[in-house]
Amino acid sequence: MIRNHWKMIRFLEAMSSNCGYIFIKGRGSFCMVYLLCWLTAPFLSIFARSRPILTWSSARPYIDQCRRLIMEEVKFRNIIDMAFWYTVMGRLFEEGQATVIKQKLLTTARTLIEAESKEEFDDQHKSFCHWMMKNIQLRPTMKQPHPSFGHCAKILDITMKVLSHYCHYGNPAFVNSAIDNQFIKHLKKKYGVCSHIKNLGDIDEPAYEELQQCISREIEEDFDNQIMPVQYDDIMWERLNR
């Protein structure tokens, strides 16, 4: 039996908010959480004003909540990991850099799925790209030591497309189209823009914004503004890679 019901609930809630750092193995999670509660209860009881009894049956709903939150965190991390490798960009970076990028993606994605406006989303998007351009190293065989804005944006745009459009986290309407070399070729030919751009490595921030404007224009002209940029991605990827 564990004393101090209300203190224990507060403890469980606090632990739930940081449960991403706990890894579970089947039924062992119940015992682990319950044991932590049992060990911590005497210290929490010092400031308790009342001493009701918390039994296994009364604690079970909160332990179940902890387990659901833990599994949700594991799921979110796995989506980020799969989305990163889905970009097919990992091969461009020095050894060990992929882990750093994915950790930054994890914190950035949590912020982006909570964005309440397109402006807020875009500010965080730019912040991620600037961070990555400054802190991440490309392989020595690449022509430049750091990734371009285009490299960084593609990684984040695809990650957020997977999270919001495929997995229903956040608002997919805020997510930009993920530009790759096929899209660059198509947009240059159709709208005569960015003549100096040959591939993602050449894309700086102004060029990225210009290409996104071209995509918005094509969505308006060819799709009557009835689709989002993430849906444009799916349609045009199939068309351009036939």
Written as tens digits, the pLDDT of the chain (242 aa) is 444 444 444 454 455 444 433 333 333 444 455 445 555 555 555 544 454 555 667 667 777 777 888 888 889 999 999 999 988 898 899 999 999 999 999 999 999 999 999 999 999 999 999 999 999 999 998 889 999 999 999 999 999 999 999 999 999 999 999 999 999 999 999 999 988 999 999 999 999 999 999 999 999 999 999 999 999 999 999 998 87
In this prediction, residue 68 carries a pLDDT of: 83
What is the Cα–Cα distance from 194 to 199, expressed in whole angstroms? 11
Instruction: Tell me which amino acid residue 242 is.
Output: R
| pLDDT reported for residue 1 | 40
CA dist 17 to 114, 127, 166, 211, Å?
A: 16, 25, 25, 40
What residues contact residue 25 under an 8 Å CB cut-off, 6+ apart? none
CB 158 within 8 A of CB 178: yes
Q: How many CB atoms lie within 10 A of CB 85?
A: 11
Residues with Cβ within 8 Å of 60's Cβ and at least 6 positions away in sequence, in order, are none
Q: Are 106 and 81 in contact (CB under 8 A)?
A: no
Identify the pLDDT of residue 23: 36
Confidence (pLDDT) at 112: 96
